[in-house]
């Protein structure tokens, strides 16, 4: 008879990566970010002897289209203009991850790392081609094994203490995207963005981080159901890196995803480790993050 999921304890096991010579880390960003978010972490990984490649999901990165009024005075249409990313699908996002996985597989061992909303595309890619992934790491990331949509966890009682509820603009269904305004001139809005995602990033660096963010997350990323199976995704060894002071995805929500995934696919239960600090350790402590990834 099924049992009720229990909150996992923070444990460690043997290092997941003992030979970096033939290992490549494939890094998948979360909402509103891009491959650039990993730059400092990649430098730290390189210093530790690890190769890595970062993926730009469709609609993200420096080539992403912006709402037409985003950079104009008064921000015309920002609350109502339908996103140019509205037609991007979860399949499109998973395909971007799969393309990278296929290209790096020839180099040996592949560790797939996903942050936050990037857990959906990364999980779907791993489900479709488990033979391309030797280990998957979730950095405070969505795990769709217990519930199929990221929105299912964002609306769970365990996520009720999350900050940032007032950051979203307009109607996501009408926009076709979850839209935020990183370039807002409202000091209260900017401070809420900082407190939610970057509260432990040095204040003098925060403006540089927010200026690089994209305003739109394709609605398909948090809204599309994903089915993971024990025979495919569930056979891949996996690690969850919790963020202890996460204000965007509190530890209670992280622990819920871990517990429900282990209940649904118990064959390869999560190894769980905890990092100090915020939802975005790549901004606040990239060296510590890199060291955690190679364990």
**Between 2 and 269, the higher pLDDT residue:** 269
Show me where the domains of the chain are located: 20-294
Q: What residues form DSSP beta bridges with 113?
A: 27, 137
Give the separation between CA 154 and CA 90, rounded to whole angstroms: 18
Give the separation between CA 213 and CA 131, rounded to whole angstroms: 33
Q: Which superfamily does 20-294 belong to?
A: Alpha/Beta hydrolase fold, catalytic domain (3.40.50.1820)
> Residue range 121-143: average pLDDT?
99
Residue position matching structure tokens 């996520």: 159
- For residue 4, is pLDDT > 90? no
Residue 84 confidence (pLDDT): 98
* pLDDT tens per residue across span 149-178: 999 999 999 999 999 999 999 999 999 999
**Angle at Cα 160 formed by Cα 157 and Cα 165, nearest 5°?**
140
User: What mean pLDDT is reported for the chain?
Assistant: 94
């Amino acid at each position: 008879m099924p049992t009720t999921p229990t909150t996992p304890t923070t444990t460690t096991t043997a290092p997941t990566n003992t030979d970096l010579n033939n290992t490549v880390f494939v890094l998948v960003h979360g909402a509103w970010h891009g491959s650039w978010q990993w730059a400092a972490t990649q430098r730290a990984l390189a210093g530790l002897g690890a190769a890595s490649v970062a993926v730009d999901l469709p609609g993200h990165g420096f080539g992403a289209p912006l709402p037409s009024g985003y950079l104009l005075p008064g921000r015309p249409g920002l609350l109502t203009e339908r996103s140019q990313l509205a037609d991007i699908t979860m399949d499109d996002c998973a395909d971007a991850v799969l393309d990278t996985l296929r290209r790096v597989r020839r180099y040996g061992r592949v560790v797939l790392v996903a942050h936050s909303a990037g857990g959906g595309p990364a999980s779907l890619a791993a489900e479709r081609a488990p033979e391309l992934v030797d280990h998957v790491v979730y950095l405070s990331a969505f795990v769709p094994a217990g519930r199929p949509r990221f929105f299912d966890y964002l609306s769970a009682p365990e996520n009720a203490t999350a900050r940032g509820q007032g950051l979203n603009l307009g109607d996501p269904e009408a926009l076709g995207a979850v839209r935020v305004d990183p370039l807002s001139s409202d000091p209260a809005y900017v401070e809420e963005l900082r407190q939610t995602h970057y509260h432990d990033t040095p204040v003098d660096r925060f403006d540089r981080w927010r200026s690089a963010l994209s305003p739109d997350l394709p609605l398909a990323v948090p809204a599309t159901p994903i089915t993971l199976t024990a025979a495919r995704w569930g056979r891949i060894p996996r690690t969850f890196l919790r963020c202890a002071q996460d204000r965007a995805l509190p530890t209670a929500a992280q622990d819920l995803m871990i517990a429900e995934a282990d209940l649904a696919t118990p064959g390869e239960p999560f190894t769980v480790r905890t990092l100090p600090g915020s939802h975005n350790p790549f901004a606040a402590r990239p060296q510590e993050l890199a060291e955690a990834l190679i364990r």
